[in-house]
Structures are given as structure tokens and as C-alpha cells.
Structure 1
Amino acid sequence: MKYIRFIKNTMALMMAFLVTTSCMDLLDEPLENQIIAGDTDYTQSANMILMLYGAYGELYRSQWETYTLLSVRGDDVTAAGDQFPLIETDEFRYDRNFWMYNSVWLNLYTDLIYWHGAIEEIRKYQEAGANQSNAEQYVAEIKVMQGFELLQLARTWGAILIPNSSQPGKLFDIEVSSFEAVMQHISALMDEAIPLLPSVHPKDRSDVRGGVTRGAALAVKAMANLELKNYPAVAEATGQIISSNQYQLEPDYYQLFKIPGKLNAENILEFQYSDFGTATGTRTAYPFVTYGPASWTPAVPGASTGWGFFAPTPKYIKFMLDRGEQERLQTTVLFTPDGMEEIMSDPQYATLPAWVSNVTPDGDRFNNHPRYNFLSGKHYLPSTQLIPGRFGYGSNKNFTAIRYSEVLLMHAEALVNGASSSVLSADQAVNLVRARVGLGPLNGVTLDEVLDEKFAEFGMESGIRFYDLMRYNRAAELNHGGRNFNLETDRYLPYPLEQENILPKLKTGE
């Protein structure tokens, strides 16, 4: 019963909040500090939005291990650091006793159960006379959060439990849903949410700036249908996003992942963090320290180091060099001197382009370290972009979950698989992404070219590459650096042992 006690204690904490400040004051506070009330006067309709704030707080309160584990198995990423079972996971030797498997499972399920509680609370306000339209919109936003994290769970573990209430004990009564059934559930959930959501760019919302909009729901629907290989549904959902004209590619790919990229026109779903423009005091932060250098010489003295747990693969670097990529490679990969030597030790890459350096365009120098030879530039914030007086690695940087370029390339993927569209052709969608980084156009794009473009565009981003390979049974791509991937046994992680002991249905799938 340890799992149930854990969830009950968590929910008891989450279901208590203070209503001593106004809604407008709360908008100026970190969303993850907003928590939900247990003993509430539901006739106080103005407080209903606090349920939504709490829901966003839970979405943004992402523990460091979650996206590290979800992202580590593709041929773009390799694990580094001192977590040996994470390195083993990256090499497809899984240990169901590894604490990180259980922690990520709990992180995601705690969110899902919390969000059911938030929806239930909103319904009580609605029944007590709160604005019906606002209530339906808030519920729709939370459904998108649920769909997004159900997607992560199913992509990682395959068949899973789909919570249907805020009561953790109800998990015992739920049947295990197949991967396909989860994707169908997500698609249907998004259909419920889409018409109720604001049809604006997230940055243009006046109530929760940067919050969930119709574009995020359509993108999650497209992702779920891509896994189902329902390509017409993918083309239709992505086509709606494209034709809305609410999103556009950021011309400067390098700055997209830094402070100028916050609430960028390209970002469809983005986790919000801030130092609130002050040298000290209130601060919200994603744990970018996970990806940061254990040794560097920052341009701003005193800027903090990181853990060095997450590194690009030599395979990815060589792939990008072969394509003549500069902007995306320089953005995605941070080199150390040893890393440069490692690449040049291959006779085919004995001479690197002059721009390859262990010093970034912003003047930060990445030094050698025994844990890694490369680091992720997508998770890097230049020390020169830190708010003066703040020194935490990545402080004030947002975490981008869905970008418009992914929508364009999903659209192209659907079309090369037989779907049709009057919005953009596959060539046009791919070439928009290529033109942004100075690459020439392609004609008559193929599936291989779409997947290559996605590999180049989304290196180090949330496991996108691994899921693409799984969708097309391309196991051989993962057999690099001595790895031996077996599609039948290695596509999904094993359920955490602790969860199998608590929920026997996970053992049998019955």
C-alpha cells in the first residue's frame, strides 16, 4: 500500500490552498506555488481560476529525472553522469528496480490524478454558479495536460492504466489499456477540448499568458494519431494549426532555445519559469542543472556548473557534419576539447569546420570532464543571459515542449504516408524548416528525408527521435556505439518493480 499512501499524502497536500490574495495577485506569483483548496466556498466564483493555476503549477513542476529518462534512448542522446542504471538504460539494458523508473511513473501519475481533482473542483464551482464558459475552458486546458502526459507514459511503457478520477484507489479497478487504446483515448480527449480552447497564440492569452490554446490540443491529437498511423487525422490536425497563421518559425534557431525564445511565435506548448527580473528573491526554475557542464569557464564569473547527465552522440554529430549543418549543430551540441578530438579521431572527420569550438558564440568555454565529451546546447543558457545576480545554470529559461516545426514535419510525415492536404505540400513543409537554417530545398521528399529532417531538427528534444524510429521499426539505427537494440524487448521500459507489486494487473496485462 506504499503507493496509495504516497499518492494520498501527495493529494492531501495538493488539495489545500490559501485564498488570502486576489486572483490578479496570484497571476504575478510562480504558478507552481498555487495549490488547490480542500474546504472551499464554491459560491466564490472568482476563486475558480485558482484550480487552473494549480494545474499549471503541477505541469511545470517537472522533476529532473522525468524528461531525462523519457529522452535518453534515441541515437541522438547518450547518458552521462553518475547514474549507472541510466547509462544502462541508454544502452537498452533495463533494470526494473532502478529508482528513476518508479519516480518518473509516480511523477506522471501524480500529475494525472491531481488534474482529475482539479477538474472535479472546477465542476463544483460550475454547479455553484460560476461562469460556464470559463469552467469549460479551464477543464479543456487540463485535458490537454492529461493527454500530453498520457502520451509520455504510453510511449515509455506501452500498455498503461488511464486514471479516471482523483481517487488513487480507483487505479485498482481500472483495466490496463493497450498502447493503441491510449492513443485513441488521447485523440478523443483532444476532440473534447479543442472547440473550448482559445484560438490564439499562447503569448496572446490575457488570463494565463503562455497557457494552453487550441494549437496545443491539435498538436497532441496529431502526435497520438501519428502513433496510430492514422495519417489523414494527422494531416487534418496539423493543417488546422498551419492554416490558423498563429505560429511561425523563429528565424534565429540558436536564440530560440534561449531567453529571446521565451514565448516565441514558434512555441506551441512551453513550460514557464522566471527569475522575475530581480537579483534575489522569488524564483521558479526547471532543473536545467541536469544538463549543465560539470566544468566550464563561463563568460560571467560565478555562473554555476551542472551535473553533465545528458550528452549528444558522436553518431548525431557526424550525421549533422555530413549534411553540412552549422546552425542546428552549433545550437544542439556543446563541444569540449576532448569531444573535438574524439570526432577527429575518425579519419573521415579529421578536419572539422573552423566554427566547431569548445567556446560558444556567447563566450562560454566548455572544458574537458571525465563524464562526457559533449553536452546539450538545447538545454544551455549563456551565462551572459542570466539576470545579474542570478547564477543558477539555465535560470530563467523556459522548457519548450511542442514547437511549430514539429507540426510542419508531422504534416509532411502524414503526406508522404498517403494523406492529402490543401494547406501545404510535404515539400513545402519540409523546405520551410530547412530554409530557416540556410539549407536548400528538396523536391519530391520521401519518408527517409522527412525522418532525417526531424533527426536534424529535434536532436536532444524529449525523445522525438526514438519514437520516430519505433513507429517505423527502424531498430538498426539504434545499434551504434556497441549497442544492441531488440525491437521486441526494448521498445518499452519494464514496469517499475514496485508498481508491479502494488498493481498486479501490470504483470499480466489483464
Structure 2
Amino acid sequence: MELDSSQSFDYTSAEGAKSAVLGAYATLSGKKPDNGDTGFGWEQIPLISVRGDDVNAGGKGDQAPFTDTDNYSYDQSYWMYNSLWEILYQRIVQVTAQMAELEKFRAGGVNSQLIDQYLAECKTLRAFYTLQISRVWGKVIVMEVLDQSQLTLKSKDDVMSWISSQMDESISNLPDMRPNQRTDIKGGVTKYTALAVKAMANLELKNYQAVADATGEIIGSGKFTLFGDYYELFKTPGKLADENLLEIQYTDFGVGTGNNVKHLWDFYGPTNWTPSVTGATAGWGFYEPSMKYIKFMLARNEQKRLVTNVLFTPDGINKIKEDPNFSTLPSWVSNVTPDNDQINNSARALFFSGKHYLPSNQLIPGRLSYGSNKNYIITRYAEVLLMYAEAVARGASPTAGSAVDAVNKVRERANLGLLTSVTADQVMDEKYAELGMEWGIRYFDMVRLGNTAALSYDGRTFTMDKQFLPYPLAQLERIQSLEK
């Protein structure tokens, strides 16, 4: 819950301190039945994600500035830009406020070690939000205190260095376990979540040894394993899996009526389908796996991951076949999913994202809205393995085995043959295959490497001056320190 400073609290209470840290977690999932959406909204993650060559903006003209963004044409007055900025900074402000509250509990005599842990959890959440903002805009405001006179604008490199140091301050104070092993806050932040965030920040800095060290510690812990079934990982069986280092949790409480804490998955869903469960609602069709990605996967004979990651329409299948190299497709390329949901043709897109799909037969009876009860995975062990592999392939000293062993763990689950050696380019291909449609990972990888050719596809031309979105016009008018 979020603490209300106008009320009087017992700052000697450990339960009160736990309520303060739960107020920070509310910024992540945020879907509280009593007061609505305070976490990631439906528009924010797609905006972070849409510019990679793994995904296109669906919609065919609807929400044109979103499509333009996918084509690297930016409108700084577009409401989505301002929404992403404002919501993430609101989250950062709230987390920082909860941290100030936690210090009051320390002063009230609550166990100082517990307060240090809760503060470290808050720092990890705040660092994750700041990472996303800086990836999108580059030079951004870093917040450590609520006093606005002390807010500073830092370059992207300085932001990433700050995130890394914040995680260094936090790691030793966090639980040494998987998030799903926590009994006090199920799925909450642990030292391994913080290590993963540290690795992400150092990847942006190209500090590959720091990446190898952080991810190597996660791997070396032996606590994480890849979920056995890649397809089910992104569905109900994958909730709080041993693979997941951080995820946004939702629930309909296992009953068909009443409170429903859910994400608005409609954004990703097919606009026209014949679900196996009659009455299950369709989506909006604004998030389309790219033809480039699909052909890349087909060329690799990527059955398991492609069937998981992409929902095919009949028109989409026919469009693939227009390419002489793909005129004959394997029988498993179908507009009927493994759970017998039929994806029909749509005016908005040829394909839809399977990672954001919950089979209608996994809906709780009575809950018919698209994706109801589905969690949103943020960071998982497969990404850790591939960050480690990339770092070692780019010259870092190994700290948890070879790069090829890390890649082969991921390939084995995908039912692909094992490699005997691996190059950095092969690791990037594996990341493309494994992490497509997730959190803009592909886009940020290509930008980091200056790979403008990869992002120049299907008529687009990407240049490095397009790597960051322009600051939202509303923020330029409000925050004088922002530069155009």
C-alpha cells in the first residue's frame, strides 16, 4: 500500500515497515482493485519495445504516431511519450517517498537490517525504472531524494554507472534466494534481481567484464533453471517460475467474479479469433511480430520458439509464402494455436505476439477478457545466460563456464542442436530468437552495437541520431534543464 503522510503511523511496527515497501511494489504491478492502475499501463511497455526489428506497430493507421515511432519518425507532442515519461517518474517519486518512510521506521526502532533490506528492494525497483527511461531518452533526471532542488540530469553513461553503483549498495542487503522462494513478499526482489539489473546497466556501458561478473554470480548460485516448456513459460504454468528474476504479478483470485488485478493485454491480442472457450474476448492488434523476425526463425527451423512467439493469421501465412524461399512451409505453421484457439484474418496485422497471449482454455471460468490472470515477465534466467555469453564472447574473462555452454542451455530447451563454439554474432542471433518481443531488448542491443543495418528493414532507414526519443513537449515546457 502507499503510505499517506497526512495520517499517523506507528513507526515502531515491523508490519508498518512492510506496508511501506509494499507501497514501492505497488508501482510495479499497481493494479489494486480499490483504486485502479498505478503500475505499468498498457501503452508504456509497447512504446519501450516497438522500435526493434523483431516487432512492428500494428494498427494500420490507427494510433499513427505509434506507427511513426516504429518507423523512427518521432512526434514529441505524442501523448504516449509524455505518458511513459510521467508514469515512470511518478513511480520513481513514489518509491523514493517510501524509502523516506522506511527511514522513519528505522528511527522508530524497527530492526535496522530489515530496513536495509527493504531499502535495497526499493533501490532495485527505482534503478529498473531509471534504466528504462535512460534507454529511451538517454540523458535523464536521476532521483535519490525528493528535494527537487537536488535533482540532477545525467548522461546515459552516467545514469548506467549510477544504476550499477546503486545495485552494489543493495546486493548484500537482499535475500539470497530466488524471488519465488520468498515467503514474506512472494516474487519480490532478491540479490539476483539486483545483479541482473546491474548486468543490464553494464551491458549498456559495454563494460563486459562487469556483465560477466554479475551474471556469472547468478549462474554460479545454482538457484535458477530454465522452465522446462518454453511455450508454457509465458502462460499460467510459468507464473513465478524458477526462471523468473522479476515479473509483474496479476491475479483474478481464482474466482470468476469480483476483483480482478490484471494488465490490459488487449493491446497485443488478435482483433479476430475463434477461441476454444466461447465468449473469450479479442484484442486490439497493435503489436505485430515482424516478417523479418518470422523468416529469421523459419530459416533456423525454430519450431518451438516460433510457435510460442507468433500467432499466425491465414493472410500472414500466405504473405510468407509469397517469398520463393518460403513458398513451402512446415505443417506446424498454422493459424490454430497448440491450445486450439483459431487466429483469424485482421485488418490491423498479419501476426500477433504469442508471448503476450494466454490461451482461452487457461482463463478462469467466468473471466473472459483477453489475457486475464496472466503475469508480465520482466527478467528471466535465459536473458542472464545470454548476457553472460555475449560478455564472454566479447572478451570478458569467464566466471561461470564458457559462452557456448550458456548458449547451449538456451538452445537445448528450444530443441535445437548444440554448438561446439560460439561467436558474438551467434550470441546476438540467439538473443534475437529467444528474447524477441520482450522489453525492446533487441532494439537496445542493436543500438548499443551501432548496427544500423539490422534496424533498417522493410523500408525503414535507421541512423544513430534516431536512437533516443525526443523529450515530450509537455516536459520541455515544465522542466527547464531538459535540452531539445
TM-score where L is the length of structure 1 = 0.91
Once the two structures are superposed, residues 40-86 of structure 1 have per-residue CA deviations (whole angstroms, 9 ceiling, x without a partner) of 23233421111111111111121111101000000001001221100
State which of 450, 468, 473 in structure 1 corresponds to 2:450.
473
> Does structure 1 retain, via aligned residues, the 8 Å contact 2:235–2:358?
yes
1:300 matches 2:277: yes
Q: Residue 449 of structure 1 corresponds to which residue in structure 2?
A: 426
The size of the alignment, in residue pairs, is: 473
Local SS of the residue matching 1:402: strand
> Does structure 1 retain, via aligned residues, the 8 Å contact 2:3–2:23?
no
Q: Residue 468 of structure 2 corresponds to which residue in structure 1?
A: 492
What displacement does 1:14 show? Answer: 5.0
1:141-156 equivalent positions in 2, closer than 5 A: 141-156=121-136
1:163 matches 2:163: no
> Does structure 2 retain, via aligned residues, the 8 Å contact 1:115–1:166?
no
What displacement does 1:15 show? Answer: 4.2
Aligned-partner Cα distance in 2 for 1:323–1:364? 25
Once the two structures are superposed, residues 87-108 of structure 1 have per-residue CA deviations (whole angstroms, 9 ceiling, x without a partner) of 0000000000000000000010
Which protein has the bigger helix share?
1
Once the two structures are superposed, residues 292-328 of structure 1 have per-residue CA deviations (whole angstroms, 9 ceiling, x without a partner) of 1111110000111111110100000000000110000
1:289-438 equivalent positions in 2, closer than 5 A: 289-438=266-415
Letter in 2 for 1:40: F
> Does structure 2 retain, via aligned residues, the 8 Å contact 1:175–1:505?
no
What displacement does 1:438 show? Answer: 1.0
Local SS of the residue matching 1:248: coil
Aligned-partner Cα distance in 2 for 1:322–1:212? 38
State which of 38, 51, 72 in structure 1 corresponds to 2:50.
72
Letter in 1 for 2:10: D
What displacement does 1:442 show? Answer: 1.5
Runs of 4+ in structure 1 deviating by more than 6 angstroms, as ranges, are none
1:505 matches 2:481: yes
Letter in 2 for 1:371: R
> Does structure 2 retain, via aligned residues, the 8 Å contact 1:201–1:265?
yes
1:50 matches 2:19: yes
What displacement does 1:38 show? Answer: 4.5
What displacement does 1:471 show? Answer: 1.1
Aligned-partner Cα distance in 2 for 1:246–1:441? 23
1:115 matches 2:95: yes
Q: Residue 126 of structure 1 corresponds to which residue in structure 2?
A: 106
> Does structure 2 retain, via aligned residues, the 8 Å contact 1:140–1:197?
yes
Aligned-partner Cα distance in 1 for 2:457–2:406? 30
Q: Using the aligned pairs only, state the percent identity.
A: 51
Local SS of the residue matching 1:444: coil
Give unpaired runs (5+ residues) of structure 2.
30-38
Aligned-partner Cα distance in 1 for 2:239–2:301? 28
Letter in 2 for 1:198: P
Aligned-partner Cα distance in 2 for 1:395–1:283? 8
Once the two structures are superposed, residues 173-203 of structure 1 have per-residue CA deviations (whole angstroms, 9 ceiling, x without a partner) of 5332000000000000000110000011111
> Does structure 1 retain, via aligned residues, the 8 Å contact 2:195–2:218?
yes
Aligned-partner Cα distance in 1 for 2:46–2:196? 22
What displacement does 1:424 show? Answer: 1.4
Aligned-partner Cα distance in 2 for 1:56–1:176? 25
What displacement does 1:427 show? Answer: 0.7
Q: Residues 41 and 178 (structure 1 numbering): CA distance in 2 closer, same or farther, change over 3 Å?
A: same
What displacement does 1:422 show? Answer: 3.8
TM-score where L is the length of structure 2 = 0.96
Aligned-partner Cα distance in 2 for 1:74–1:309? 15
Q: Residue 84 of structure 2 corresponds to which residue in structure 1?
A: 104
Local SS of the residue matching 2:159: helix
Aligned-partner Cα distance in 1 for 2:281–2:405? 43
1:177 matches 2:154: yes
Aligned-partner Cα distance in 2 for 1:503–1:38? 31
Aligned-partner Cα distance in 1 for 2:56–2:275? 24
What displacement does 1:346 show? Answer: 1.0
